Amino acid sequence: MPLPTPDHEALTAVAAGYGLGLSSDEVGEYAPVVAGLLASWDAVAELYEAEAPAPPERAWSRPEAGANPYNAWYVTTSITESSSGPLAGRSVAIKDNTAVAGVPMTNGSTTIEGFVPSTDATIVRRLLDAGATIAGKAVCEDLCFSGAGITASTGHVENPWDASRHAGGSSGGSAALVAGGVVDMATGGDQGGSIRIPASDCGLVGHKPTWGLVPYTGAFPIEATIDHVGPITRTVSDAALMLSVIAGPDGHDPRQPANLQVQDYLGALGQGVQGLRVGVVREGFGLAESEPETDEAVRTAVGALADAGMTVSEVSVPWHLHGPRIWDVIATEGATAQMVDTYGYGLNWKGRYDPEVMEHYGRRWFEDGSRFPETVDLVLLAGKYALNTTHGRHYAMAQNLAPKLAAAYDAALAEVDVLVMPTLPMRATVRPGEGARPPEILGRALEMLANTSPFDVTGHPACSVPAPLADGLPVGMMLVGRQFEDATVLRAAHAYEQAVGGFPAPAAAAASV
């Protein structure tokens, strides 16, 4: 579609917005030059559209009323493209922030409703090539900016352990479907903890890979420096298997280092853990938000690490307590600038963009900003105020502090092989009632980020595994490793799983088997 030629009023508005000080006559002098320059936009569109693929024909359906377990499906499908491969016969739910070609995608939001991707995300293509069956798109939080499973445009996601409680977010639908036994495994995305939070709340394994290990291509971004995608599964071996399939360079994602090398993460589980050193991070316990039951369950789980043959000691990382503040600034100003003001993908990087979703989403939110959820309202109110006031200064400071935060963890990881702490300070909380006001919604959506968010800033691999239940509810223990040593983290997690005899499942999952 040609770009409309701007009229005098449109150019005057642009000039006024930038304070250019142009008179009406001067705007008129620029007008034909602007129009001539913008002819290149039409030429680029013609060139692109001649090469752009059409969405494939793939069957999908919206779940019928009463037939949507945990309110966790956005759409269901059954896409299989290979009968062989390491995931043959395994069903996978794809978080609805990730493109499955020919299948609607909303990223949990009415701002993206109606969009159908034309190409598969890299991880979707790799899953299909490995024999997996894509069973559908799992509900995620609205634009993925919540940790509680309570902001999606399709409604709350219920926790299979207790339907009155949230399933975690933003990958809550993925976790609920795996925990409830509806699918074998699922994908998640993680910018502040959104793989590990629902894994903890639903009693699952959730692995946030090292930043850049798994290509983000085809997933809807929030902030490029904290974007991650990874597996949510019942067992560590399934997480390692999925990671082995989806990890590695794709040549389209600038988050990935040029010299990236992957390992056989599943094969590494058999290497054993005798002598592996575990550091229990003092600052991860006893937080203002911490429940004693959560801390106690994780302390018990730490004992099982020792039983499995690992050497356990306590370590101190004082900068861990600064991590959430650094994340606040990066996530808030960064998401304002990238996720909203530049339509999700941002600008100024080389790699694979999705122009169709950028235009679709940008047009819809620009038409009606009231479509944003409370969490994004908060981000924009704070983020735009800060950007307008100090012009990115605080974002720049936070990004410059990120290496110091990473170095603090690296110093501890020079003495031990894996760091351990509670994934979340508390168990899943009760979902807000109908008519809840913004303070309550925001409290539920963001209350659990203290231990997870720092590792999105630093990019260290971090895996949540189930600790012992506390009063019948799941608790997560998080294991963190050195950059790109995901295999070590998974090895420790697997040995722990073996030591405790496997992880419990909710009654709903047992009934579905």
170 carries an active-site annotation: yes
95 carries an active-site annotation: yes
The tokens for 317 are 């990382």
Helix (H) or strand (E) holding 13: helix 8-18
The tokens for 509 are 């999952």
Active-site annotation holder among 194, 244, 453, 464 = 194
SS3 328: helix
CB 499 within 8 A of CB 307: yes
- Nearest alpha carbon to residue 426 among 297, 328, 322, 325: 297
Q: DSSP string covering 365-391, please? A: HHH-GGGS-HHHHHHHHHHHHHHHHHT
- Furthest-apart CA pair in the chain: how many Å? 81
Q: Name residue 421's beta-bridge partners.
A: 478
R_g of the chain, CA atoms, integer Å: 23
The C-alpha atoms of residue 209 and residue 487 are separated, in whole angstroms, by 10
Q: DSSP string covering 115-167, please? A: B--SS--HHHHHHHHTT-EEEEEEP--GGG--SSS---TT-PPEETTEEEEE-
Q: Is the peptide bond before 170 cis (omega within 30 degrees of 0)?
A: yes
Residue that has been written with the tokens 């752009």 in this structure: 52
DSSP state of 55: P
The C-alpha atoms of residue 328 and residue 294 are separated, in whole angstroms, by 24
The C-alpha atoms of residue 16 and residue 23 are separated, in whole angstroms, by 10
Q: List, in order, residues 6 or more apart from 304 with CB less than 8 Å away.
A: 496, 499, 500
Q: Name residue 463's beta-bridge partners.
A: 207, 479
The C-alpha atoms of residue 221 and residue 244 are separated, in whole angstroms, by 23
Q: How far is CA 388 from CA 34, 287, 382, in A?
A: 27, 33, 10
SS3 315: strand
Active-site annotation holder among 109, 170, 200, 464 = 170
Show which residues are catalytic: 95, 170, 194
